[in-house]
Structure 1
Amino acid sequence: MTLTQLNILKILIETESFTKSAEALYITQSGVSHSIASLEDELEIKLVKTNKRTVSLTEAGEKVYIAAKDILTGIDRLKEEISALKNLRTGNLKIGCFQSVSVRILPGILKEFKRKYPGIEVSWFEGTDLEVTDWLLKGAVDIGFVVLPAEGLETVPLLEDKMFGVFPEKHPICSRKSIGIKELAAEQLITFKGSSCGMLITSNLMRLIKDANEIKHIEARNIGTIVEMIREGIGVAVIPELAIPLNYNGICSVPIRPEIKREIALAAHSFNNLSLSARAFVEITEKFIEKFKAVPSKNSIF
């Protein structure tokens, strides 16, 4: 039994004529007759009664006809749903991101994504970059922003994010054009807790300083908390450029030399197996990042 056979039966009963059904289906009249006969042979029961002028159904034919209509209607509905999905009129997308991406990058991407695909329901979850990596590995989110390397995931590099020393605005270093990372060992350092950024700064300092006990640091999770602590003179920090507030009084940022960078990427278990909505998000993100990188950095000394 095939969908073609069921459709021919449906059209035959609706037109009540082998000739008219053949014309509607663009096949020969003998083709219609052969299809009905094959279906009856397979089911081992008569489905259609015919005379010179009319076509009608047997009791078994009535049951098959009703089922055929339901099956064919379901197939049409399925095709419409698949078509809608291909055109991204409906769907769901879960995104993982860390705070600086949430503030500086994600809003612009989501604005464009929602403009193009208003029917896609988007949820995003914010944590540290290490938490986002864990969410991706566990399948809690479809796609996420991570800091490379991200073991166990496929990635698409997006941009490099330079590190800056951030100080209270009256700190003597604010008047300088750059600062060496080793100089920060003498400061009360505030680092990002549970993130690769904090680990990156600590590892760079460890390579330069023999005694780890010389590094004085406290940890905080929130960018706003760290900036407020700096502004109040509690300590200084090394902060990625994306994480530094664009408009904030009471602090200054100074480039670190030689440069220390982190590389931000999109990550997923497998880009080949991404949903259509996730693939669309990747495409929009890559285009947005190209425009974003073309804009001159606003990070100078505050």
Structure 2
Amino acid sequence: MELRQLEYFVAVAEESHFTRAAQRMHVAQSGLSAAIRSLEKELGAPLFRRSTRQVRLTSAGEALLVEARRTLSAADAGRDAVAAVQGLVRGTLAIGSLQCLHSLPLPELLRDFVTAHPGLDVRLRHSGSTELLDQVRTGTLDLAFVARPSRCPEGLRLAPLGTERLVLACAPEHPLAGRAEARLTDLADERFVDFHPGWGTRDHADAVLADAGVHRKVALEVTDVHSLLELVAFGLGVALVPETFSLKTDQARFIPLPRPVPAWETMSVTTELPSAATVAFLGRMGGGHG
């Protein structure tokens, strides 16, 4: 089994198409297909279900995909380690992050890091915490910034980034907008705007309200902060959000909640053996991983 075969296999799995995978890998489709057939023969199992329209993983292919990504990630880490010994950092660094991560000046850090390591291919994607954790676990991402999970997934390392108070976001004309403070029990009959389950602030708000005995209805689900705040500002629902969301708009009102409402905590997450590029980026943040 060769690394190139695994790279071709992962490309087909992610593209669900042999032609697109070949284009992505800059090889002839016949060569890529032959490499996949050779891999299937070596493993003694079909890895894909092929049809005229699409390509899907078999159960054997699904099992291999996780290990293939880990193997390729480990190979990259090995190359990076040698480069690091030589005073270089090259290869790829894939970072995942929540939106509006105020506990970390991520754009500034990325700019400085890319400037310091021009040979490194740095990639960034936004998603919810659950998906980001899974992508670090499977090797799709090297590093992610997430909301604190209820438990640390096996094989990952977490380190704290920061904490923020939760506040109530509501429309200017909402009955609670003029309050100096809003109690969680005041929200029992409210419509809510929030992110999808699996996103950090959504899961945290769910837990906070459940602990307060408030069974809420999330009427509108969004995937970005600005849409959430705009819907709130137009009176379509209220939301529990980190306090720094108030910096995004002056069209909504942000009302403090009485203590002790659990704070929203953010964390960095890596594998237990992070790549040299990951270690270098964490070092630029002001230290390693605790």
Q: Which residue of 1 is the match for residue 202 of structure 2?
A: 198
Residue identity matched to 1:217: V
Q: Deviations over 1:161-211 (max 9, x none)?
A: 22111111232423333222221223211122122321222222223327x
Q: How does 1:162-201 map to 2 (within 5 A)?
A: 162-194=165-197, 195-201=199-205
Q: CA distance change for structure 1 residues 186 and 118 in 2, over 3 Å: closer, same or farther? A: same
Measure, in 2, the Cα distance between the counterparts of 1:250 and 1:198: 21
For residue 226 of structure 2, give the secondary structure of its aligned residue in structure 1: helix
Measure, in 1, the Cα distance between the counterparts of 2:114 and 2:148: 28
Q: CA distance change for structure 1 residues 84 and 285 in 2, over 3 Å: closer, same or farther? A: closer
Residue identity matched to 1:94: A
Cα deviation for residue 281 of structure 1 reads: 0.8
Q: CA distance change for structure 1 residues 83 and 143 in 2, over 3 Å: closer, same or farther? A: closer
Residue identity matched to 1:117: H
Q: Which residue of 2 is the match for residue 111 of structure 1?
A: 111
Q: Deviations over 1:72-117 (max 9, x none)?
A: xxxxxxx9x9456642353320111111229973212212212322
Asked whether the equivalents of residues 157 and 271 of structure 2 are also in contact (C-alpha less than 8 Å), the reply is yes
Q: 5+ unaligned residues in a row in structure 1: which ranges?
A: 1-78, 288-302
Measure, in 1, the Cα distance between the counterparts of 2:286 and 2:175: 40
Asked whether the equivalents of residues 84 and 276 of structure 2 are also in contact (C-alpha less than 8 Å), the reply is no
Q: Deviations over 1:225-276 (max 9, x none)?
A: 211111111011001234x152423111122222331221111121xx2222
> Given the alignment, which residue of 212, 226, 229 partners 1:224?
226
Q: How does 1:1-302 map to 2 (within 5 A)?
A: 82=82, 86-101=86-101, 105-149=105-149, 150-152=152-154, 153-194=156-197, 195-209=199-213, 212=215, 215-218=216-219, 219-242=221-244, 244=245, 246-258=247-259, 259-270=261-272, 273-286=273-286
Larger deviation: 138-147 or 114-123?
Answer: 114-123
For residue 112 of structure 1, give the secondary structure of its aligned residue in structure 2: helix
Q: CA distance change for structure 1 residues 209 and 234 in 2, over 3 Å: closer, same or farther? A: same
Asked whether the equivalents of residues 160 and 267 of structure 2 are also in contact (C-alpha less than 8 Å), the reply is yes
TM-score, normalised to structure 2's length? 0.63
Residue identity matched to 1:119: G
Q: How many residues align?
A: 202
Cα deviation for residue 160 of structure 1 reads: 0.9
Runs of 4+ in 1 over 3 A off after TM superposition: 81-86, 102-105
Measure, in 2, the Cα distance between the counterparts of 1:144 and 1:207: 28
Asked whether the equivalents of residues 88 and 277 of structure 1 are also in contact (C-alpha less than 8 Å), the reply is no
Q: Rg larger in 1 or in 2?
A: 1
Q: CA distance change for structure 1 residues 183 and 264 in 2, over 3 Å: closer, same or farther? A: same
Asked whether the equivalents of residues 167 and 253 of structure 1 are also in contact (C-alpha less than 8 Å), the reply is yes
Residue identity matched to 2:139: G
Q: Deviations over 1:105-143 (max 9, x none)?
A: 321221221232232210012111111011111111111
Asked whether the equivalents of residues 145 and 266 of structure 1 are also in contact (C-alpha less than 8 Å), the reply is yes
For residue 174 of structure 1, give the secondary structure of its aligned residue in structure 2: coil
Point out the structure with the larger helix share: 1
For residue 124 of structure 1, give the secondary structure of its aligned residue in structure 2: strand
Q: Which residue of 2 is the match for residue 31 of structure 1?
A: none
For residue 165 of structure 2, give the secondary structure of its aligned residue in structure 1: strand
Asked whether the equivalents of residues 177 and 253 of structure 2 are also in contact (C-alpha less than 8 Å), the reply is yes
Q: 5+ unaligned residues in a row in structure 2: which ranges?
A: 1-78
User: How large is the Cα RMSD of the aligned pairs?
Assistant: 2.6
